[in-house]
Amino acid sequence: MRDKQKSSPSLSDQEQLLQLAQYRMPFGKYTNRLLIDLPEPYVVWFANKGFPEGKLGEMMRIVHEIKINGLEYLFEPLKPKN
């Protein structure tokens, strides 16, 4: 029996983190806010109701994990400078 191999993502982990640090909410009350800066209750609401499809949903799932584990501080040096 062959072990199942994890499919490799299209971006390296480092590239994905850099992209996440710059990804902005495209709609709603928090339009144009960095996903990593969304309020935790808002992200948790999406987690309970269902994340959007596609890239946005994927990024929001990651943000949810980051927020519930208190790791937002890791993104401070990666955020774009205003």
Please check whether residue 11 is in contact with residue 19, taking contact to mean a CB–CB distance below 8 angstroms. yes
Q: What's the pLDDT at 28?
A: 94
Judge whether 7 lies within some domain. no
pTM for the full predicted model: 0.78
Judge whether 4 lies within some domain. no
* pLDDT tens string 34-75: 999 999 999 999 999 999 999 999 999 999 999 999 999 988
pLDDT over 70 at 8, yes or no? no
Q: What's the pLDDT at 11?
A: 54
Domain that holds residue 38: 13-78
More confident residue, 14 or 59: 59
Alpha-carbon Rg for the chain in angstroms: 14
Judge whether 5 lies within some domain. no
Report how far residue 48's alpha carbon sits from residue 75's, in angstroms, rounded to the nearest whole number: 24
The H-assigned helical ranges of the chain are 13-22, 40-49, 54-68
State mean pLDDT over 8-12: 53
Q: Which amino acid is at 72?
A: E
Judge whether 24 lies within some domain. yes
Judge whether 58 lies within some domain. yes
Report how far residue 82's alpha carbon sits from residue 16's, in angstroms, rounded to the nearest whole number: 21
